[in-house]
Amino acid sequence: MELIHIKPEKCTDCLHCARVCPVHAIVVKPGQDHPEVNHQSCIGCGACIVSCNDDAIGFYDSKPAVVKLLEDEHKVAALVDPSISGEFPDITDYRKFVEMIRRLGFELVMDVSFGVDLVARKYKALFSETKGKFYITANCPAIVENVQKFHPELTDNLAPIVSPMVATARVVKAVYGQHTKIVFIGPCIAAKLYSGEFVRDAEVDAVLTFGELRQLFISHSIHESQLEYSDFDPPIGRLGSLYPLSNGILEAGNIPQSLMDGNVITSEGHKSSLKAIQSFEKNIDQVQKNFNIFFNEGCLMGPGMSPGGDKQMRASQVINYSRRRLKNYDENKWQFEMDKFRDLNLACHFSSNDMRLPEPDKTRVDEILTLLDKSGERKGMCSGCGFESCRAFATAVAQGITRTDMCLDFNTKNKNKYIETLRDAKVKSDTEIAKLRKELKERLAEFDFINDKLETSRAIMNQIPSGVVIVDQKLKITSSNRSFIEILGDEARDIDEIIPGLRGADLKTLVPVQFYKVFQNVLATGENILSRDVKIDEAILNLSVFSIKDKKVVGGIVRDMFSPEVRNEQIIQRVTEVIDQNLGMVQQIGFLLGEGASKTEAMLNSIIQLHRKKKRDGMG
């Protein structure tokens, strides 16, 4: 299955998605109309989706899977990320959206904040017991994917603690039964990679983004104004409701954050999170801190939230939501629940999945840098390509995952050179255009002259009493006269009304096999066949076929031997006149049609001999 997909019908090939992808999983190949997603390298961060202004990038739709779960007989629990308070400012009381979720068919609606509290307690213990080894928090799925795929050496430094989503799922199954189906609802797209939709035997069956949740509310006609209040099912978390803020989990676990006493560095955001991982990899021995990293600016700015949200506004909503919930909060009950799940297994193990491409030959990279005019030392770079350096970009070009036109500087220089070339060529082009116009005028005049000649030739050909037909090497008729059409009969006349002169018609469909075989023979051998009698039904046709263009175009003259014209006593005189008067005409027609001269005289003489023989035999 594919987490991220590009919609070709909407993509404008602006390549902005490729520039913002932190791991360059949006591949831009030479000769392709649109970029494509390398699904194995994708970390599900959603940066490409957020950056696309054309709605040309989408992600896996979990709504059908969730609807199917709700239709089954199993109990289904919705695990709601605390970020929902920042997603639904239009809902006046959090208990309203709890009831709205129940109306979709969920039997249980759980607040993930309790799972956050459990995980935060584990982190406090882990960070307090550090013995020279430091960790990266494993709460952000995009960060976990990034480490496993592109910093595999740091996989053992991922904190071996499950995410709040999984922790809450384990609580639900411990309290409400192992067969309970789990649907997580939150702001994260990458979380889908850890669900049963993508992973066999996953502890969470499906993941809905808040955007998908809104769509389900609309499709099920669920509105806040029509519903009463409903609270989350227990157990309910405490300070875990601050989890949408990047340091919220530290607040929930009472983990020291002061500059002097704290041993955790929090980093958030697209670029900062990636630099934090690089810093951990290079400098952890000097830094000696644990890293709390979120790809986005906290979960409240995740790609599964409604686009265009204001971070500070959402943060204030999360804090106000937490204050309202904790106003009359029963901390003793919370402590009881926390003690109850003290021994709940929250451990996990991560495995490296190296997706880094082999380094290309240095000589090839240097050649690309020279092509880009980037071979010299530079004090800075524009970063327009999305890579950390010009050499990194040239390396990617050599690896085949991007194109040189992704370099804005290179593109600009090429365009400027092109403009200069056009300017230099302007005078030459003006001269060439004038010359071409003159040639075009002459060609049009020649065309008109030839066309007139062809039309005249066709008109003359229609005056010849014998049937005349010219065909190409595929036995398609290129021209025929009226006499030929009349000899063929009604079917040919019907076709002639639609296609004058039968041009383009297949000779094989109009005449018997013994007729068109004569034409095939002349095309194959190039040798003329003169005065061949062909019997069609009760008629006898005298057929002469001659080559006009060797093995490509042949012409045929057809006479009905039983027509009054042929049987007339004056046939010899008439045929002689044809020889004298019409031979040149047929040859001229063949020439004008691009088909050469015929051998009409030999054919017509054969007709004379035939008639004389018949007279001697008493057939006249």
Higher local confidence (pLDDT), 412 or 215 = 215
Cα separation of 416 and 420, whole Å? 6
Q: Does the pLDDT value for residue 541 go beyond 50? A: yes
- Pull the structure tokens for residue 255: 């983990």
Does residue 590 surpass a pLDDT of 70? no
Q: What is the DSSP string of 50-88?
A: HH-TT--EEE---HHHHHHHHHSSS-EEEEE-TTHHHH-
Residues composing the chain: 620
pLDDT tens sequence across 179-207: 999 999 999 999 999 999 999 889 999 99
Q: What is the overall mean pLDDT for the chain?
A: 84
Q: What confidence tier does 127 reach under pLDDT thresholds 50, 70, 90? A: very high
Give the tens place of pLDDT for each residue, 53-63: 899 999 999 99
**pLDDT of res. 492:** 86
pLDDT interval class at 503 (50, 70, 90): confident
Per-residue pLDDT of 67-91, as tens digits, reads 999 998 889 999 999 999 888 876 6
Do 163 and 138 touch, CB atoms closer than 8 A? Answer: yes
Cα radius of gyration (the chain): 43
What pLDDT is recorded for position 80?
96
pLDDT at 113: 95
DSSP 320-362: HHHHHHHTT--HHHHHHHHHHTTT---B--------PPPPPPH
Give the confidence band of 612 by pLDDT, cuts at 50, 70, 90. low
d(CA 143, CA 274): 8
pLDDT of residue 120: 97
> Domain coordinates of the chain in residue numbers?
60-340, 462-616
Spatial neighbors of 270 by CB under 8 A, at least 6 apart, are 20, 22, 45, 47, 295, 296
Residue predicted with more confidence, 221 or 407 = 221
Res. 436: pLDDT tops 70: yes
- In this predicted structure, which of 239-243, 432-436, 546-550 has the lowest mean pLDDT? 432-436
The CA distance from 481 to 470, in Å, is 9
Angle separating helix axes 331-340 and 113-128, nearest 10 degrees: 60
Is residue 567 over pLDDT 70?
no
Q: Find out whether 510 and 492 touch, Cβ atoms under 8 Å.
A: yes
Report which of residues 121 and 380 the model is more confident about. 121
Dihedral of CA 55/59/60/66: which sign?
A: negative
Closest CA to 37 of 14, 60, 16, 57: 57
Contacts 24+ apart (CB under 8 A), 514-520: 515/541, 515/543, 516/475, 518/543, 518/545, 518/556, 519/471, 519/475, 519/545, 519/554, 519/556, 520/475
Q: In the predicted model, is pLDDT for residue 441 greater than 90?
A: no
Q: C-alpha angle 166/167/170, rounded to 5°?
A: 85
The tokens describing 449, both together, are 């002259």
pLDDT at 602: 47
Task: Answer yes or no: pTM beyond 0.85.
Answer: no
Beta bridge partners of 543: 532, 558
In this model, does residue 596 exceed pLDDT 70? no
8 Å CB contact between 241 and 325: yes
In this prediction, residues 233-256 reach a mean pLDDT of 93
State the Cα torsion 55-60-61-62 to the nearest 10°: -150
pLDDT confidence of residue 209? 96
Q: Is 452 or 70 the better-scoring residue by pLDDT?
A: 70
Assign 601 a pLDDT band (cuts: 50, 70, 90). very low
- Nearest C-alpha neighbor of 478 from the set 440, 420, 519: 519
Residue 535, pLDDT above cutoff 90: no
User: pLDDT digits over 292-313, tens only?
Assistant: 999 988 888 999 998 888 889 9
Instruction: Say whether pLDDT at 615 is over 80.
Output: no
Please state, in angstroms and rounded to a whole number, the distance separating the CA atoms of residues 361 and 549.
59
pLDDT at 423: 63
Q: Is the pLDDT of residue 589 over 50?
A: yes
Nearest CA to 20 among 194, 210, 192, 274? 274
Taking alpha carbons only, the member of 546, 543, 531, 544 closest to residue 607 is 531
Distances (CA, A) of 527 to 86, 523, 547: 90, 8, 7
Is the pLDDT higher at 394 or at 408? 394
Percent of the chain past pLDDT 70, that is, above it, reads 85
Residue 355 and residue 38: Cα distance in Å, rounded? 10
pLDDT band, very low/low/confident/very high, at 595 (cuts 50, 70, 90): very low
Question: Given this model, what pLDDT does residue 241 score?
Answer: 93
Task: Give the pLDDT band (50/70/90) at residue 617.
Answer: low
In this structure, whether the domain defined by 462-616 belongs to CATH 1.10.3720.10 is answered with no
Distance CA 239, CA 114 (A): 8
Q: What confidence tens digit (pLDDT) does each residue in 96-118 have?
A: 889 999 999 999 999 999 999 99
At 578, list the tokens: 């044809």
The residue among 269 and 500 whose pLDDT is bigger is 269
For CA atoms 256, 257, 260, 265, the dihedral sign is positive
Residues 6+ apart with CB under 8 A from 433: none
Residue 554 CA from chain centroid, whole number: 50
Q: Which residues of 254-264 are buried (b: 16+ CB within 10 A; e: fewer)?
A: ebeeeeeeeeb
Report the distance separating Cα 566 and Cα 560, nearest Å.
Answer: 7
